[in-house]
């Protein structure tokens, strides 16, 4: 009945039609069209977030030049922000939507939510705000969808510039469709205005709207794209293997925006230990060179860069031991060694060896060659994702008698035992040059150097997270700030490589498939802040709910549905 009455009234006062709001003449049509357009936009964001390097980004408006062409309804690849233009209905998978007056819908995108140029990257996460002001409220929206209504003769007044709207030109001028504050060309918009000079009907898309549809896709992308790299890096950790991965210690939970993401002694849950002290690059990167493994990152400019966490040898040279490897069946013995040159950067040992025997009695072999084992202690190994770089092992042969190059022995070498404080006892074994002298255990010598870069950042893992388009979105958009990490003590530094006794595996209640209590390591993705919670925060309960907010045990929980009281996503790394 209301629609009929208003329709009749419109005919009776047709001379006054310029100031009637078409939304009022048929609110059902505009409300339905705008609602469908908003749903389509959010659906586009959710679907695009599964593959986009900027998950959560919005499409640009349709360029005005596309109107009336085969490209009409297709979003521009990038746009000057804040951007105002026609809704890119074809990009959103819609039939061309029009309002109650037959006009195509208009669309506004905030700064920070669409690509301003072809090389730009965005930083969208749960703390990103929309930068559109609506009705005086700052950061109220990330986008607006507007039903423009019929043309008006806009009168000059506060926030309104006089204009007789004329339509049908190509490209269309938004000032001929939007009025007053909506036509001002800045980032402030309005949902109402002076009678006779304003008939826009506006629907807002808030940051919260986007984040509701973004939670699931981001959790899926972490499980699908980030978790496999963590699992692989754990297998490559010094002391780790495919059957018994070694996960680094967790960084203590704290305000994620200020954490260094450095693992701490005896810490098994908290933030991901993403700290690094070396640059990472991929072999496909033209600027990538293996020498970059020794190039430090830049603190203050590179996220999670901290040179103080680099692997280093203990400065006390007497903590280095040299011995004949017990499993070598050849002859020869060590007559002495000198490791006074040891520094935190490089272990340097000169070792004398030979054979004490009598040539005349026929008791000497044709040559002597003991296997030399160097055992040393390195700090910080278990506090981040590390790897062995055997290519950095080297030697300097100082023997006057040796004729064969020293070689790294690949048999039982690379023995690494990481303690719960993150330090590691490392043993490397060597076959020095053969000695052809007899009667003395000090007749030949070799100098061996083991640099700290023998154990360094896992550059493959770091490259995946920082230089690989399919996965660098995770750090580029700071999603690590909403990601909790936990590891069983059995598979962390100091563990035995098994879940036993006082070092149980992690339990995830309600997890399928069963069993629920066999998880070696996992992530919990928090989702957006729920009502009553404040982020960023040093309180775990401001991010996680239920069992996931209690870090003192090894029990977590998954739920089949997301509610206003629980929106955590448990992502198992290694069952």
Please give the Cα distance from 109 to 99 (Å, whole number): 20
Q: How many helices (H) and strands (E) does the chain have?
A: 7, 27
**Residue 271 and residue 260: Cα distance in Å, rounded?**
10
In this structure, the dihedral spanned by the alpha carbons of residues 269, 275, 276 and 277, taken in order and rounded to 10 degrees, is -120
Does residue 78 sit in helix, strand or coil?
Answer: coil
The token pair that represents 395 in the structure block: 């030697």
**Residue 102 per-residue DSSP state:** S
Burial degree of 127 (CB within 10 A; 0-12, 13-18, 19+): middle
CA distances 105 to 31, 55, 75, 249, 335, Å, are 12, 25, 13, 53, 88
Pairing of strands 188-189, 132-134: parallel
Cis peptide before 428 (omega within 30 of 0): no
Sign of CA dihedral 526, 532, 536, 540: negative
Under a CB-based contact definition with an 8 Å cutoff, are residues 99 and 62 in contact? no
How far apart CA 311 and CA 386 sit, in angstroms, is: 9
- Where in 275-389 does DSSP place strands (E)? 312-313, 321-324, 333-338, 346-355, 372-379, 386-388
Along the chain (575 residues), what's the average pLDDT of each consecutive run of 10 residues?
A: 35 33 58 96 97 95 93 96 97 96 97 94 94 97 97 94 93 96 95 95 97 96 97 94 95 93 96 91 65 79 87 73 62 78 79 70 62 86 91 63 52 74 88 71 80 88 88 94 96 92 91 92 95 93 93 87 90 92
> Pairing mode, if any, of strands 372-379 and 312-313?
antiparallel
Phi-psi region of 163 (alpha: psi -120 to 50; beta: other; left: phi over 0): beta
Which pLDDT does position 411 carry in this prediction?
A: 39
410 burial via Cβ count (<10 Å: 0-12, 13-18, 19+): exposed
* CA nearest neighbour of 521 among 221, 233, 218, 225: 233
Backbone dihedral region for residue 541 (phi beyond 0: left; psi -120 to 50: alpha; all else: beta): alpha
């Amino acid at each position: 009945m209301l629609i009929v009455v208003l329709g009749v009234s419109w005919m009776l006062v047709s001379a006054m039609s310029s100031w009637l709001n078409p939304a009022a003449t048929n609110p059902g049509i505009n409300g339905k069209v705008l609602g469908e357009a908003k749903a389509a936009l959010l659906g586009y964001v959710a679907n695009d977030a599964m593959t986009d390097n900027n998950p959560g980004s919005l499409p640009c408006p349709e360029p005005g030049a596309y109107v009336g062409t085969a490209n009409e309804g297709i979003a521009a690849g990038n746009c000057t922000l804040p951007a105002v233009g026609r809704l890119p209905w074809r990009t959103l998978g819609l039939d061309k939507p029009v309002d109650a007056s037959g006009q195509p819908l208009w669309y506004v995108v905030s700064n920070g939510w669409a690509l301003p140029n072809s090389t730009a990257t965005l930083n969208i996460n749960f703390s990103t705000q929309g930068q559109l002001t609506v009705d005086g409220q700052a950061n109220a929206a990330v986008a607006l969808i507007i039903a423009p209504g019929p043309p008006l003769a806009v009168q000059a007044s506060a926030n309104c510039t006089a204009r007789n709207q004329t339509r049908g030109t190509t490209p269309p001028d938004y000032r001929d469709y939007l009025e007053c504050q909506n036509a001002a060309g800045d980032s402030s918009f309005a949902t109402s205005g002076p009678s006779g000079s304003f008939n826009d009907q506006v629907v807002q898309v808030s940051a919260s709207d986007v984040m509701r549809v973004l939670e699931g896709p981001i959790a899926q992308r972490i499980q699908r794209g980030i978790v496999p790299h963590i699992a692989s890096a754990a297998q490559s950790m010094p002391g780790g293997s495919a059957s018994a991965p070694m996960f680094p210690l967790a960084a203590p939970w704290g305000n994620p925006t200020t954490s260094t993401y450095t693992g701490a002694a005896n810490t098994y849950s908290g933030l991901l230990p993403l700290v690094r002290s070396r640059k990472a690059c991929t072999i496909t990167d033209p600027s990538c060179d293996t020498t970059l493994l020794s190039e430090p990152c830049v603190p203050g400019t590179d996220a999670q860069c901290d040179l103080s966490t680099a692997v280093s040898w203990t400065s006390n040279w007497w903590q280095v031991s040299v011995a004949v490897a017990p499993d070598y069946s050849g002859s020869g013995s060590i007559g002495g060694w000198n490791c006074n040159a040891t520094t935190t950067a490089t272990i340097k040992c000169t070792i004398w060896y030979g054979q004490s025997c009598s040539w005349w009695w026929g008791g000497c072999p044709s040559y002597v060659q003991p296997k030399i084992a160097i055992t040393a202690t390195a700090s910080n190994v278990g506090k981040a994702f590390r790897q062995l770089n055997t290519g950095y092992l080297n030697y300097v042969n100082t023997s006057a008698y040796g004729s064969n190059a020293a070689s790294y022995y690949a048999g039982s070498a690379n023995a690494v035992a990481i303690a719960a404080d993150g330090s590691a006892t490392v043993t490397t074994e060597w076959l020095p040059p053969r000695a052809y002298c007899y009667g003395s255990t000090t007749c030949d010598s070799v100098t061996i150097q083991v640099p700290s870069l023998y154990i360094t950042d896992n550059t493959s893992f770091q490259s995946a997270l920082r230089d690989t388009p399919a996965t660098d979105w995770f750090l580029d958009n700071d999603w690590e700030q909403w990601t909790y990490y936990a590891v069983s003590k059995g598979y962390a530094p100091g563990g035995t490589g098994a879940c036993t006794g006082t070092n149980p595996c992690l339990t995830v209640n309600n997890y399928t498939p069963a069993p629920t209590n066999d998880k070696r390591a996992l992530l919990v993705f928090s989702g957006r802040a729920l009502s009553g919670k404040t982020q960023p925060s040093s309180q775990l309960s401001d991010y996680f709910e239920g069992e996931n907010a209690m870090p003192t045990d090894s029990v977590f929980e998954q739920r089949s549905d997301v509610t206003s009281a629980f929106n955590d996503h448990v992502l198992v790394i290694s069952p």
